[in-house]
Amino acid sequence: MDWQGQKLAEQLMQILLVGFAVVAFAAGYALGSFQMMLLIYASGVVITTLITVPNWPFYNRHTLKWLDPREAEKHPKPQIASSSSKKKSNKK
Amino acid sequence: MHSFVYRANALLTFAVMVLAFMCAMASLSDNLNSLSPSAQLQVLNVNWFQKSTQGNDEVSMTLNISANLQSLFTWNTKQVFAFLTAEYETPKNSLNQVSLWDGIIPSKEHAKFSIHTTNKYRFTDQGCNLLGKQYNLTLHWHVMPKTGKMFADKLVMTGFRLPEEYR
C-alpha cells in the first residue's frame, strides 16, 4: 500500500465498523432480539476485514516515486571532512 | 497501517471497543422500560407447626403464588429470578427474612404463572417466637440482563398471621 492507501484503509475501517454497529443496534432494538444484533455486527466485522486488511490494488493508486538509481549516482552523499580531526590532535 | 498484521490488529481492537460500547447502550436502553408487575399471594393452609429437635419453631404451609411479571422482560433480559420471603420481627432481631420459595423464569412466556405448592425451603425460626406471629410475605425479583446492570425490586404483602398453638 502507499501512504494515501493506508489513510484510506484506516478511514474505511473506522467508518464501516461504526456504521455496522449502528445498523446492528437499530435492528436488534427494533426486532427485540439481542442475538440478531450480534449476528449483524459479526458479519459486519468480517466484511470490514475483507475490505480493509488485504492489500487491494485500489489502495496503491498513488504509487511512491522512488529515486532512479542512475540519478542517485550523480549526487553523492556528502562526506564528513577528515582535516578538522587532524587539527585537534596537533593542539594537544 | 503499514502491514497486514498491523491493520488486522487495529481492526480487531477497534471492533471489540465498539462492541463494548454497543453492550453499554443496550444496558442503558433497559431504563426505558416501564414496569408493571403484579402478584397475589395466599396461604391456603398451615400443614404443621412444631418445635424441631434443636428447639426452634418450624412451620410448613401450602401457598398459592400467582404473578404476572411479563412487563419486566426486555430484549436485553436473560432471565428473572423470583423468590418469596416471610418477614417478621422478634425481640432478638428487628428483621427476620426466611426464604420460602424461589424459581427461575427463563422467558416472557413463562412469566405469567400460578403456582400451588408447599414451601420449598424450611420456615424455621431462631428460637420459639412464631406462635401467633404477624408476618409479611414479600415477592422479590432480580431481572438478570444479557449485558449490563441487574435490577431488583419487590412487592410486600402484609396481613398474615401464624396460629396461636402448635399443630
**Facing residue for B15 by CB, picked from A17, A33, A54:** A17
CATH class of B36-161: mainly beta
In a domain, A33, yes or no: yes
Between helix A34-52 and helix B4-29 the angle, nearest 10°, is: 160
In a domain, A34, yes or no: yes
Whether the CB-CB separation of B69 and B82 falls below 8 Å is answered with: yes
In a domain, A2, yes or no: no
Contacts of A21 in chain B (CB under 8 A): 18-19, 21-22
Domain count, chain A: 1
Inter-chain contacts counted by CB atoms under 8 A, chains A and B: 55
What torsion, rounded to 10 degrees, do the Cα atoms A74, A80, A84, A89 define?
-140
Contacts of A14 in chain B (CB under 8 A): 14
A64, with CB counted inside 10 A (0-12, 13-18, 19+), is: exposed
C-alpha cell belonging to residue A43: 458479519
Question: Which residues contact residue A6 at a Cβ distance below 8 angstroms, ignoring those fewer than 6 apart?
Answer: A59, B1, B2
Between helix A3-31 and helix A34-52 the angle, nearest 10°, is: 170
Domain holding A38, by residue range, is 19-54
**What parts of chain A have a pLDDT lower than 50?**
none
- ipTM higher than the 0.85 cut: no
pLDDT value, residue A80: 81
Amino acid at B84: L
- Residues from A in contact with B at Cβ < 8 Å: 1, 6-7, 9-10, 13-14, 17-18, 21, 24-25, 28-29, 31-34, 37, 41, 45, 48-49, 52-55
In a domain, A13, yes or no: no
In a domain, A85, yes or no: no
How do residues B55-112 score in pLDDT, each as one tens digit?
A: 888 999 999 999 999 999 999 999 999 999 999 999 888 999 999 999 999 999 998 9
* pTM reported for the whole predicted model: 0.78
In a domain, A39, yes or no: yes
